[in-house]
Chain A
Amino acid sequence: MKACVTPDEDTGHEGRGGHAGQDGHGTTGRASGRRGRSPRLRPHPFGLRTRLVLAFLLVAAVGCGTTAALTYRAARNAILEQTQDTAVSAFREQIDALGTTLPIEPEMLRDTLMMVARQGKPRAWRVYAEYGTLRVSSTDRPTSSVITPELRARAADDEAVPHGSFQRVVKNGTPYLTIAVPAVFLARSAEGPPQRTGLVFYAVMELSEEEANIEAMVTAARDGALPALAVALIPALIAARGVLRPVRELRHAAHSMGRGRLDTRIHAKGSDELADLARTFNESAAELERSVAELRNAEARARRFASDVSHELRTPLAGMLAVTEVLDEDAGSLDSDTARAVRLISAETGKLAVLVEDLMEISRFDARAAELHTDEVDAADCVRKTLQQRHWTDPTQVVPYLTEGIRARLDPRRFDVVVANLVGNALRHGEAPVTVRLWAEGDQLVTEVADRGPGIHPDVLPHVFDRFYKADQARTRSAGSGLGLAITLENVRLHGGTVTAADDPEGGAVFTVRMPL
Chain B
Amino acid sequence: MPRVLLIEDDPSVREGVELGLRRRGHEVRTAATGEAGLDALAEFRPDLLLLDLMLPGINGVQVCRRVRESSQLPIIMLTARGDDFDVVIGLEAGADDYIVKPARTEVIEARIRAVLRRIEEPAGGRAAVEFHGELAIDRAGLTVAKAGERIALAPSELKLLLHLTAAPEQVFSRQQLLEHVWEHSYHGDARLVDACVRRLRNKIEDTPGDPRYIQTLRGFGYRFGPLGPL
Give the interface of A toward B (CB within 8 A).
Answer: 311, 314-326, 329, 350, 353, 356, 360, 364, 369-371, 373, 375-378, 381-382, 385-386, 389, 407, 409, 412-413, 415-416
Contact = CB atoms under 8 A, between A and B. Distances in A.
Interface stretch (B11-19, B110-118, B153-161, B206-214): B11-19
A454 to B, nearest CB: 31
A389 B183 CA distance: 12
Contact of A314 (B101, B173, B186, B189): B101
B166 interface: no
B187 interface: yes
Nearest to A321: B102
B15 A412 contact: no
B187 A322 contact: no
Interface in B174-207: 174-175, 185-191
B186 A385 contact: yes
A371 to B, nearest CB: 6
B80 A314 contact: yes
A389 B186 CA distance: 9
A322 B108 contact: yes
Give the bracket for the number of chain B residues in contact with chain A.
20 to 34
5 contacts: A311-B80, A318-B12, A322-B16, A322-B19, A370-B83
A258 to B, nearest CB: 34
Contact of B10 (A315, A386, A413): A315
Interface in B70-113: 80-81, 83, 101-106, 108
Given A386-B187, A407-B219, A316 B80 contact: no
Given A319-B13, A326-B20, A371 B83 contact: yes
Interface of B: 10, 12-17, 19-20, 23, 80-81, 83, 101-106, 108, 173-175, 185-191, 219-220
Contacts of B189: 373, 413
A415 B187 CA distance: 8
Most buried by A among B13, B102, B105, B186: B102
B191 A373 contact: yes
A356 B102 CA distance: 10
Contacts of A353: 102
Contacts of B187: 382, 385-386, 389, 412-413, 415-416
A381 B14 CA distance: 38
A409 B190 CA distance: 14
Nearest to B104: A321
B92 to A, nearest CB: 16
A149 to B, nearest CB: 113
Contacts of B108: 322
Most buried by B among A316, A370, A407, A409: A316
Contact of B102 (A318, A325, A389, A409): A318
A102 B16 CA distance: 155
B61 to A, nearest CB: 19
Contacts of A350: 104
Contacts of A315: 10, 12-13, 80, 101
B16 A323 contact: yes
B71 to A, nearest CB: 26
Contacts of A381: 175, 186
Contacts of A416: 185-187
A252 B102 CA distance: 52
A418 B15 CA distance: 35
Given A322-B105, A322-B108, A377-B173, 19 more contacts: A314-B101, A315-B80, A318-B16, A319-B10, A319-B15, A320-B12, A320-B102, A322-B16, A322-B20, A322-B102, A322-B104, A325-B105, A325-B106, A326-B23, A373-B191, A375-B173, A381-B186, A385-B186, A386-B187
Can you list the 9 inter-chain pairs with the closest CB atoms, starting with the nearest?
Answer: A319-B12, A322-B16, A319-B16, A318-B102, A385-B186, A416-B187, A376-B219, A318-B101, A321-B102
A461 B106 CA distance: 39
A377 B83 contact: no
A380 B191 CA distance: 22
B23 A316 contact: no
Contacts of B105: 322-323, 325-326
Given A318-B102, A318-B103, A412-B175, A364 B83 contact: yes
Nearest to B176: A381
A381 B175 CA distance: 10
A320 B101 CA distance: 11
Contacts of A386: 186-187
Nearest to B80: A314
B17 to A, nearest CB: 5
Given A315-B10, A318-B10, A324 B104 contact: yes
Contacts of A370: 83
Given A319-B15, A325-B23, A382 B102 contact: no
